[in-house]
Structure 1
Amino acid sequence: MLAAERRDFLVARLERDGKIVAKDLARELGISDDSMRRDLRELAAAGLSQRVYGGALPVSPAIADYATRGTISVDAKARIGRAAAELIRPGSTVILDGGTTALAVARALPGDLRATIVTHSPTVASALIHLPDIEIFMIGGRVFKHSAVTSGAAAAEAAAGVNADLFLLGVTGVHAESGLTTDDADEAAMKRLLSRRSAETWVLASSEKIGAASRFAVLALSEVAGVITDAADDDPTVTDLRGRGHEVLSA
């Protein structure tokens, strides 16, 4: 099998199985482990997969720019936003992450909700302005334009003083084995810090993020209360997550 043919084969296998186990596939194709690793490097460089230890996973489409992501799964994100909004209790303090799904949560909050929202997203804060009984605390710092959130030392220092009841976390990848991931190291660190400042963390994940992975680990699934998603109940990753004892809330 020629290199180009192997690439097409790997893409098809990734679409069928949702993952590539390098050693197993090298044995199946009768090629060396080094040849398989080279093929996987080339596949990742072409943006067709995300390399992980031992193989590869589907790459998340949520690593696109902010404007593009705003056009992806709009209805699904609105449903997730409504489901997440129901987790917010009157009088509670909630950390709301940045990104397009978190923005859908802000837009889904009822007009009479009395709560405190802490966010490091200027777009999320702006979406809350019209709600009369929402107190907004904005975490400042350098703006990371991909997700329209602040990050860096100043943001981390401000976040360290927060104590919240709930953190609604956005990620670009949810995978039963690789956990929760995103595509920027500083953003991943900020998300971990915000999770530590909250009593409970729920993950916001539209279906294109389910079963996908990005470069940097955020948290293990065991560190969050559950995942809110529009993915079908029979989705292989959803089934796997529930089989491992993780809570999945269908939106």
Structure 2
Amino acid sequence: MLTEQRRRQILDMLKRDGRAVAGELARLWGVSEDTIRRDMRDMASAGLLKRVHGGALPVAAPLPGLSVRRGLATEEKRRLAVAAVQLIAPEQVIFLDGGTTTAEIVRHIPRDMALTVITHAPTIAAELEAHGAVDVVLIGGRIYKHSMVSVGPTALAAIERLRPDVFFLGATAAHASDGLTTGDFEEAAIKRRILERSLATYCPLTLDKLDSVSPFGIAAIPELTGMIVVSEAEDTVLEGYRSRGANVILA
């Protein structure tokens, strides 16, 4: 089998199975494991996959800017938001991450529900303008414009003094073995610390984010209280997360 044929089939396997194991491919194709590792190393350098111990995982597609994301998968995000709001009780302290799905959560919170909502996203704080029963706490810091959230030491220092009841976490990718990931190092650190400070953490995920990996880790799947996905998610895909201890909530 020619090099280009092998590499095309590796990409097909990642798309189909969500992972590729070097040893298995070497036996299947009758080549050395070093050959497969070299293929994967070159493909990782080209940004086509992510190398992990023993094989490779798919790379999450580059995330478009916030203004573009507002118009993507709107019905799916609405369903995720409806399911998320069912996990909120009056008088709780809620931390909302940045992003378009969490903005949709705000739109489905009853206007008369008394809550304290903390966020490090000024766009999320603005969405709460019409919620008269909600006290809003905005965390400051340097704005990471791609997601419009505060990052850096100022934001971290404020988060250290918080203890939210529920955190709705946003991630750009989720994988059963690699966990939740995102595309920015500082943003990942902020998300990770909010999770550690929160009593419960739920992550709503659109289907395009499943079985992919972004560069910077947030948390392992068992660290979540639950992951929220729409009911169209394939059982074979969800089983990988459940086998890692995930509580999957279907929207």
> Structure 1-normalised TM-score?
0.92
Is this contact kept in 2: 1:210–1:231, CA < 8 A? no
Q: Which residue of 2 aligns with 1:101?
A: 101
User: Which string of whole-angstrom CA distances, capped at 9 and with x for unpartnered residues, describes residues 33-56 of structure 1?
Assistant: 333233223333444323333222
Cα distance change on mapping 1:162 and 1:52 into 2, 3 Å: same
1:91/1:18 Cα in 2 relative to 1: closer, same or farther (>3 Å)?
Answer: same
Cα gap change, 1:13 to 1:84, in 2 (>3 Å): same
SS at match of 2:118: strand
| Matched-pair contact (CA < 8 Å) for 1:95–1:118 | yes
CA distance in structure 1 between the partners assigned to 2:50 and 2:167 by the alignment = 27
Q: Which residue is 1:142 aligned to?
A: 142
Relative to 1, partners in 2 of residues 1:180 and 1:101: Cα closer, same or farther, differing over 3 Å?
same
* Displacement of 1:3: 2.1
- What is the one-letter code of the residue matched to 1:184? D
5+ residue gaps in structure 2?
Answer: none
What is the SS of the residue equivalent to 1:241? helix
Moved over 6 A (4+): none
- Cα distance change, pair 41–100 in 1 and its aligned pair in 2 (3 A): farther
What code does the residue aligned with 1:26 have?
Answer: A
Pair 66,3 (structure 1): closer, same or farther in 2 beyond 3 Å: farther
* Cα distance in 1 for residues equivalent to 2:50 and 2:77: 24
Map 1:2-21 onto structure 2 (within 5 A). Answer: 2-21=2-21
Deviation at 1:175, TM superposition (A): 1.6
Shift in Å, 1:213: 1.4
Q: How many residues matched?
A: 251
SS at match of 2:76: helix
Identity of aligned residues (%): 40
Cα distance in 2 between the residues matched to 1:231 and 1:46 = 34
Mark the CA change 1:69 to 1:51 in structure 2 (over 3 Å): closer, same or farther: farther
RMSD: 1.8
Distance across 1 between alignment mates of 2:175 and 2:199: 23
Q: TM-score of the superposition, structure 2-length normalised?
A: 0.92
User: Is the Cα–Cα contact under 8 Å of residues 90 and 113 in structure 2 kept in the other structure?
Assistant: yes
Distance in 2 (alpha carbons) for counterparts of 1:45 and 1:139: 37
Q: Look up the match of 2:187.
A: 187
Instruction: Flag the 1:93–1:231 CA change in 2: closer, same or farther, 3 A.
Output: same
Structure 1 unaligned spans of 5+: none
